Chain A
């Protein structure tokens, strides 16, 4: 009886966690999908995520409007995306290396300006209660859903539809699959990639603001701890498909919630290993989902990591 109740609590906590924790993964992976579809990889989204978290929190603190914070975080991400997109078009400049540099630079800038915001409390994002029908308070709590999660869901559907069915979707995919072909069609390859990276940066910045403005809900330096990079790995797992990104983000969210969920019912043995669960899972998923022998379905042909 006790065990069953414990299991139910853990499962519910993981379900709630999947919804709560997945949003940053979702935004970063959608942004990265768009960027990678255009043929570039941006590893700097980890830095963008951290900077988005810091700037969103700071703006929310100063203006009192968390949504304005989300917007500014997105714009900050756009700037990082623009830097990446612009620098990578220079000959002999490697997009992976620039991404690493931007990861370090973005976290550095965020820590630099973020020192002042570790203490103060900023207004947080509101959530919508979908659990009004439930008796059980923990179910009700699990169904407190942040609007950004829903926006992310719509964004995933929109990107999935848009990449397949619209003109710009075709342009982005062509650019990502073969730059010479895109060039022959009169497409400005560098511009498409710049814009895709900027849009990707915007999404990652928004994802970062979710971290500091909703869950965990305050700005600390260890806030992201690699989530941006896990999201990049998640894109490979999701085969560059925005809808799969959504499913994968939920899975990652659930894995991330495992440690705290077990702790809540008193299992704290191996706590650190459960905290490592998302990283181990990412690694296992990457091992299982890629292969050196064949190219992956849906992989953009110009992408340096799958070549």
Chain B
């Protein structure tokens, strides 16, 4: 500032420019640090592979080919991203209130089961749109209640939401198994206990010209809507205040309990919807295939996206691609299917550690500020 003080006009335009540059510099931090973190986890994973005598170059080129290389692999990736987007929303929305919910898988399982169960008596007579609408509604209600329960327990009883949501995941799996292997089992399917299929004609179709079902569109639309809800409405503002400082929010008279409940219910509804899509677009019935780990990968997606609904979409595609390439990597490199889990866990750790570098890298350290 001192060197431009003699020229008032120049000073203002320079400072305006500098302010703009400064803002750009600051916001680029939110891209640079995660990308660096991904890079570091790639290096760490390469070391892991080298220690096992496998070639990292082979691995990454196979991930590229299996996830993003061909139009076929792109479709596979996008099909996997749809549930990831929705389960990531299940983590991201409560995270804005400072709640760490890791049981999205439970809401997905229960949502999928609810949808398949309500479809059984309706399949013979209901026209497809009615059937799918009721199924979607059932999954939203099941998932919403399931995670809403987590929020209620947290607010009214002070039960830690992380632990209770994971316990509810195991309970949801038991509920699914109980009905699928018992009262609602399809007797005509001897191989795998499942509910009655909803019928091929009733299933959700593909986006024209692709093999990707409409779930992806649902996920993207929900991301945009929830972004607007969390960033452009009073509700979202109050939620973010609650996440920033619970006591301050209470002192302001914000309805903290209702905010928690509603956010958790929305979150659960998203994950439940993911279950509906898995049933109505992929499996055609509810069975143990619903427990595919989307809920757990969704946690990573949300953290990687820093709980921003709009960023969730590309991150979900990225991690969906890694997951989609798992089979190819497994076959070509003779690595177990848990390889993807190791890579995901590593990315998760490095991303969390990268939090500590915000505002501390030399380029981003603001002058005159004590860090």
Chain B 190-212: CB-based contact to A (< 8 A → 1; otherwise 0): 00000000000000000000000
Segment touching A, from B119-127, B162-170, B221-229, B362-370? B162-170
Q: Which residues of B contact A271 (CB under 8 A)?
A: 178
Q: Which residues of B contact A270 (CB under 8 A)?
A: 178
Nearest chain B CB to A98 CB, angstrom units: 6
Q: Which of A83, A233, A270 has the most chain B CB atoms closer than 10 A to its own CB?
A: A233
Complex CA–CA separation, A224 to B326 (angstroms): 24
Chain A 268-287: CB-based contact to B (< 8 A → 1; otherwise 0): 00111101100110110011
In the bound complex, do residue A112 and residue B339 qualify as a contact, i.e. CB atoms below 8 Å apart? Answer: yes
In the bound complex, do residue B158 and residue A105 qualify as a contact, i.e. CB atoms below 8 Å apart? Answer: no
Chain B residue nearest in CB terms to A271 = B178
Complex CA–CA separation, A4 to B356 (angstroms): 62
In the bound complex, do residue A93 and residue B341 qualify as a contact, i.e. CB atoms below 8 Å apart? Answer: no
Partner pick for A104 among B164, B170, B177, B341, CB 8 A cutoff: B341
Nearest chain B CB to A146 CB, angstrom units: 25
Task: Answer whether residue A197 sits at the interface, using C-beta atoms and an 8 A cutoff.
Answer: no
Q: Which residues of A contact B300 (CB under 8 A)?
A: 104
Chain A residue nearest in CB terms to B360 = A91
Complex CA–CA separation, A96 to B100 (angstroms): 8
Question: What interface size band does chain B fall in?
Answer: 35 or more
In the bound complex, do residue A93 and residue B338 qualify as a contact, i.e. CB atoms below 8 Å apart? Answer: no
In the bound complex, do residue B299 and residue A100 qualify as a contact, i.e. CB atoms below 8 Å apart? Answer: yes
Q: Which residues of B contact A232 (CB under 8 A)?
A: 163
Task: Answer whether residue A115 sits at the interface, using C-beta atoms and an 8 A cutoff.
Answer: yes
In the bound complex, do residue B174 and residue A279 qualify as a contact, i.e. CB atoms below 8 Å apart? Answer: yes
In the bound complex, do residue A276 and residue B171 qualify as a contact, i.e. CB atoms below 8 Å apart? Answer: yes
Q: Which residues of A contact B162 (CB under 8 A)?
A: 43, 96, 100, 305
Complex CA–CA separation, A90 to B174 (angstroms): 39
In the bound complex, do residue B355 and residue A92 qualify as a contact, i.e. CB atoms below 8 Å apart? Answer: yes
Known contacts: A98-B349, A292-B157. The answer to whether A272 contacts B181 by CB under 8 A is yes
Complex CA–CA separation, A105 to B177 (angstroms): 27
Nearest chain A CB to B166 CB, angstrom units: 5
Known contacts: A115-B336, A272-B174. The answer to whether A283 contacts B167 by CB under 8 A is yes
Complex CA–CA separation, A293 to B155 (angstroms): 10
In the bound complex, do residue B174 and residue A229 qualify as a contact, i.e. CB atoms below 8 Å apart? Answer: no
Complex CA–CA separation, A105 to B353 (angstroms): 14
In the bound complex, do residue B352 and residue A98 qualify as a contact, i.e. CB atoms below 8 Å apart? Answer: yes
Task: Answer whether residue B358 sits at the interface, using C-beta atoms and an 8 A cutoff.
Answer: yes
Given A96-B162, A105-B348, 11 additional A-B pairs, CB 8 A:
A43-B162, A90-B353, A93-B352, A93-B353, A97-B100, A104-B344, A108-B338, A108-B341, A115-B338, A273-B178, A292-B155
